[in-house]
Amino acid sequence: MLDQIVWCTRAFYLFSIAVILVVRLIPGLKNRFLSYGARDSGGGHGQVQEAGIHGNGTTGSRSRLSSLSLLPSQVLDHVMSWKVPHSWFIHFYILSVVLSTTTIIAASLRSNDPQHALSSRTMNMNANIENMEDMTTSAPSYLFCSILMLIQGSRRLLECMNKNKKKDEDKDKTTTNTTSRPATSQMWIGHYAIGLAFYFFTNLGIFVEGVAKHQQQRLLQPPPSPPPPAVQIPRGFLSFLTTPKTFVCTSVFLYTSYKQNKYHRHLASLKKYTLPDTGIFRTIVAPHYTAECGIYLSLALLQARDERGGTNWSLIAALLFVTVNLGVTADGTRRWMMAKFPERRREVEARWRMIPAVW
């Protein structure tokens, strides 16, 4: 069962990457489904109208063919109209915090409950429960990654709460000063669904692969003796925290998290739909996306092969998904900037999209 869950998790990332690339390469899909918020200018309606022009002055049969050719576009336009408020981004981080917290509590309780550990071995209870015994010793990086995911989710949750609060205050001011109601930024419901799925599968991938790794460790060595009654942090977890790889990966995680928060605060301070042109934004279109890639790179490296063996390929797949997804989004942002600010087109063209010297 664990193997099926692990492969489903990896398949989600790989399938999502393929879908994103296909949508990116087909203009009719790219214009409809890859833009949201500031870059959402109505999707592919212009293409439908253009196709309708070619039907003028044709015979009856050609007119019917034109109507048939318009049908797929009309269906896509209808699907494109399924949108939710952009403020619903906060749901991603609520879900991530809940799942990370649940994982940490489950792993800690199983690791520190000697009665559970002893009874599981002597009474041969459910194998999946038994796999959780002392997971912090056999697979400490998985528990630590869940802790880092909790930090990441909590930070982004606080950022979204502050951003939504500021938007509400600005909306109240605008409503007071004008009779018209300000427009609310929206995103396609597909973006919302894939965001929820990403945080679900990322937390699931960390947890399930940790259990699977612990199961492999138990097959290679005899079961450990029951832990002492006192609740304490296992030695395996403490020794893991003091390794050079853990120090480097944690430092990268904290640094990129700090930089992303700094970039988000700068973007939030700008007037709506203006061109960022200070600091690193002069070189990179979306440095906050660069930082996001750094965050998941640190998590993937943290669970790369070590002396205990095993690599969390689900996190590797998650890193690839983040890189492709944000890389495509950064390219769309760059194109939007060049169209929105034609007088500064050359300046924007000189900027890297997300990764300097690469993209």
- pLDDT tens string 50-70: 333 344 444 444 444 444 456
Task: State the amino acid at position 236 in one-letter form.
Answer: G
- Residue 151: is its pLDDT beyond 60? yes
Does residue 259 sit in the same domain as residue 290?
yes
Print the domain residue range for 294. Answer: 243-359
Radius of gyration from C-alpha coordinates of the chain: 25
218 pLDDT tier (thresholds 50, 70, 90): low
- Residue 11: is its pLDDT beyond 90? yes
Exposed/middle/buried for residue 358 (C-beta within 10 Å: 0-12, 13-18, 19+): exposed
Length of the chain: 359
pLDDT for 86: 86
42 in the Ramachandran plot: left (φ > 0), alpha (ψ -120 to 50) or beta?
A: left
pLDDT for 142: 85
Average pLDDT over residues 95-105: 94
Does residue 153 sit in the same domain as residue 190?
yes
| Number of structural domains the chain divides into | 2
**Helix H or strand E encompassing 85:** strand 83-85
Does residue 304 sit in the same domain as residue 356?
yes
Enumerate helices (H) and strands (E) in the chain, giving the number of each: 15, 2
Does residue 212 sit in the same domain as residue 250?
no
In a domain, 327, yes or no: yes
Does residue 214 sit in the same domain as residue 271?
no
Exposed/middle/buried for residue 196 (C-beta within 10 Å: 0-12, 13-18, 19+): middle
Residue located via tokens 């853990």: 246
Does residue 321 sit in the same domain as residue 273?
yes
Does residue 334 sit in the same domain as residue 221?
no
Does residue 275 sit in the same domain as residue 299?
yes
Q: Cα dihedral angle (9, 15, 16, 21), rounded to 10 degrees?
A: 150
- Residue 95: is its pLDDT beyond 80? yes
Does residue 225 sit in the same domain as residue 317?
no
116 pLDDT tier (thresholds 50, 70, 90): very low
Who wins on pLDDT, 246 or 31? 246
Pair of tokens at residue 85: 């408020």
In a domain, 283, yes or no: yes
pLDDT for 195: 95
Task: Write out pLDDT tens, residues 289-340.
Answer: 999 999 999 999 998 875 555 788 999 999 999 999 999 999 999 999 999 9
